[in-house]
Chains A and B, each alone.
Chain A
Amino acid sequence: MLKVINLNVSYGAIHAVHGVNLEVHQGEIVSLIGANGAGKTTILHSISGLKRPSSGQIVFEGQDLVKTEPHKILQMGLAHVPEGRRIFAEMTVEENLEMGAFTRSNPQEIREDMEKIYHRFPRLKERRGQMAGTLSGGEQQMLAIGRALMSKPKLLLLDEPSMGLSPILVREIFDIIVQVNKTGMTVLLVEQNARMALSIAHRGYVLETGDIVLSGDAKSLLEDDRVKKAYLGQ
């Protein structure tokens, strides 16, 4: 479904991503783990078009994304929940969800999908008329995910959804990711929380300062000594 081939990305003189290859198949949860500054966000930004790579290919359902504008990439079926959530704080919860459906045109269907999101996240329904900036961190993360789902994507990119949340909320968010995946949504999950991310994933990649150093089955990565030592604190 998604294929990243020999991706290189730089910020001026900083070469942040060095020839990364990765793949996401239909129906999978793939976790990309790595320490702070490893280049995870940079890879997601390249996929969704917010950052131009210096070389390499990103192929989504047979189409190259590298020169495509971000708003067109979304229309192709790829939604990105960015790091730090980046909800529209001065818009209401409901307006945020409407923005998620920006490229869709059937109001009836949008309404129905919004009800589905409210069903999945009852707390958002209670706060639908409230400014999104007044939500708690967990609620904001739910809103960011709900907003991305409103575009009816085929592939969901999630950048550190656990960031800044209590363990209970992290579990809740991860349960939601699993549920969403069960409905047929493909997920590429970026996390520093390696244990949680690998525990729900089918496959995983380990990124260290811009290089993929390990990849494979999520279960075997969880048991890999290097992963245990570096990311699971064992």
Chain B
Amino acid sequence: MDLIKQLINGIQVGSIYALVALGYTMVYGIVKLINFAHGDFIMVGGYVALTVIPVLVSAGLSPWLCIIVAILFCALLGMATERVAYKPLRGAPKISVLITAIGVSLFLQNLFMLIFSPNPKPFPNFLDYPPLALGENFQISFVTLLTILLSLIIMVGLQFFIQKTKMGKSMRAVSEDPGAAQLMGINVNRTISVTFAIGSGLAAVASVLYCSAYPLVEPTMGSVLGLRAFIAAVFGGIGMIPGAMVGGLLMGVVESLTKAYISSQMSDAVVYGILILVLLVKPTGLFGKNVREKV
């Protein structure tokens, strides 16, 4: 029973990692850039939700709408970040782009420290529904259930979008060869904007789910969660969408099992150990293709 509980726990955290990892991997796939500010979008989503929940409630609306508001806000933030910070640097050396990304991350963290103070704020528990009982002394909390189901739906939907829709196909085309994609009449700038919007929107969903499970919001919360999700993306193969999903879930499960059965201090060590092992055997990650860099 305990093992199942730990597994479910791991899948819950892993789903959140996966949602965030998808943002890293989609952006990397299309512009070959690690958006180091992506973790901070989670933090922004948390503050947005925290701020709008009381407003929604006092206006007589459902607090669930905070998810939509956070998605829209983060999607716009993602597109704006790309437009203002990254687009002017297309074609610039990788190191300039990397430093800019770190700059955006620091900017967001400090901005939110200024607005909301560096102290953690409690996140309103708007998902206060009874747990689902599965037998005598085994139950799953509502937040856990919601996290797992919602993430599953989102991931299946995203996979469908990427594989089957015209927009999704054009995103794959741009990620393979932006020049050739332009020759097809694909508007590459628009495609990149949409990718940032989707990735950032996923971070917003992850944010509300995460804050509901660990109800504290603070300006630096994105760094830790972002790093974990980034590792999950690399683990699965950066740029590979199924890789981010599997990488995130695996990482959540490994972390949860290590904490439960080995030691809670060891979880990072085990996670990094597995990452290093995987990268030694397969440098491009679990789902990565062993292709050479394009000339």
A and B interact physically: yes
The chain A residues found within 8 Å of chain B, CB to CB, are 48-50, 69-71, 74-75, 79-80, 82, 86-91, 95, 98-100, 102-103, 147-148, 151
Q: Quick check: A50 and B183 within 8 Å, CB to CB? A: yes
* Bound form: Cα–Cα A70–B179 in Å: 9
Contact flag A82-B169 (CB < 8 Å), given A71-B188, A89-B176, A91-B176: no
Contact partners of B166 in chain A: CB under 8 A: 98, 102
* Bound form: Cα–Cα A176–B186 in Å: 26
* Bound form: Cα–Cα A100–B166 in Å: 11
Q: Quick check: A151 and B185 within 8 Å, CB to CB? A: yes
Q: Quick check: A102 and B186 within 8 Å, CB to CB? A: yes
User: Which of B177, B179, B184 is the one whose CB lies under 8 Å from A102?
Assistant: B184
Distance of A70 from chain B, by nearest CB (Å): 4
Q: Quick check: A91 and B169 within 8 Å, CB to CB? A: yes
Contact partners of A147 in chain B: CB under 8 A: 184
Q: Quick check: B185 and A103 within 8 Å, CB to CB? A: yes
Interface mask (B107-123 → A, CB under 8 Å = 1, otherwise 0): 00000000000000000
Contact partners of B170 in chain A: CB under 8 A: 99, 102
A100: nearest residue on chain B (CB-CB)?
B184
Distance of B237 from chain A, by nearest CB (Å): 13
Distance of A188 from chain B, by nearest CB (Å): 14
Distance of B290 from chain A, by nearest CB (Å): 13
Q: Quick check: A99 and B179 within 8 Å, CB to CB? A: no
Contact partners of B262 in chain A: CB under 8 A: none
B179: nearest residue on chain A (CB-CB)?
A50
Contact partners of B146 in chain A: CB under 8 A: none
Near A by CB (< 8 A), chain B positions 181-220 give 181-188
* Bound form: Cα–Cα A47–B155 in Å: 41
* Bound form: Cα–Cα A148–B181 in Å: 11
The chain B residues found within 8 Å of chain A, CB to CB, are 166, 169-170, 172-173, 176-177, 179-188
Contact partners of B183 in chain A: CB under 8 A: 48, 50, 70, 74, 79-80, 82, 86, 148
Q: Is the interface of B mostly helix, strand, loop or mixed?
A: helix
Contact flag A74-B185 (CB < 8 Å), given A82-B180, A88-B176, A88-B177: yes
Q: Quick check: A91 and B185 within 8 Å, CB to CB? A: no
Q: Quick check: A86 and B180 within 8 Å, CB to CB? A: yes
Q: Quick check: A82 and B185 within 8 Å, CB to CB? A: no
Distance of B234 from chain A, by nearest CB (Å): 20
* Bound form: Cα–Cα A100–B173 in Å: 11
Q: Quick check: B172 and A88 within 8 Å, CB to CB? A: yes
Q: Quick check: B180 and A98 within 8 Å, CB to CB? A: no
B182: nearest residue on chain A (CB-CB)?
A70
* Bound form: Cα–Cα A50–B188 in Å: 12
B163: nearest residue on chain A (CB-CB)?
A95
* Bound form: Cα–Cα A49–B178 in Å: 13
Contact partners of A50 in chain B: CB under 8 A: 179, 182-183
Q: Quick check: B180 and A74 within 8 Å, CB to CB? A: no
Contact flag A71-B187 (CB < 8 Å), given A88-B172, A99-B169, A102-B170: yes
Distance of A127 from chain B, by nearest CB (Å): 18
Q: Quick check: A98 and B177 within 8 Å, CB to CB? A: no
Contact partners of A100 in chain B: CB under 8 A: 184
* Bound form: Cα–Cα A86–B177 in Å: 8
Distance of A72 from chain B, by nearest CB (Å): 8
Distance of A116 from chain B, by nearest CB (Å): 18
Known pairs A70-B183, A98-B166 / 13 extra A-B pairs, C-beta < 8 Å: A49-B182, A71-B182, A71-B185, A71-B186, A79-B183, A80-B183, A88-B177, A91-B173, A95-B172, A99-B186, A100-B184, A102-B170, A148-B183
Contact flag A95-B180 (CB < 8 Å), given A71-B188, A74-B185, A75-B185: no
Contact partners of A87 in chain B: CB under 8 A: 180
Contact partners of A91 in chain B: CB under 8 A: 169, 172-173, 176
* Bound form: Cα–Cα A48–B173 in Å: 18
Contact partners of B187 in chain A: CB under 8 A: 69, 71
Distance of A77 from chain B, by nearest CB (Å): 11
Contact partners of B184 in chain A: CB under 8 A: 71, 74, 99-100, 102-103, 147, 151
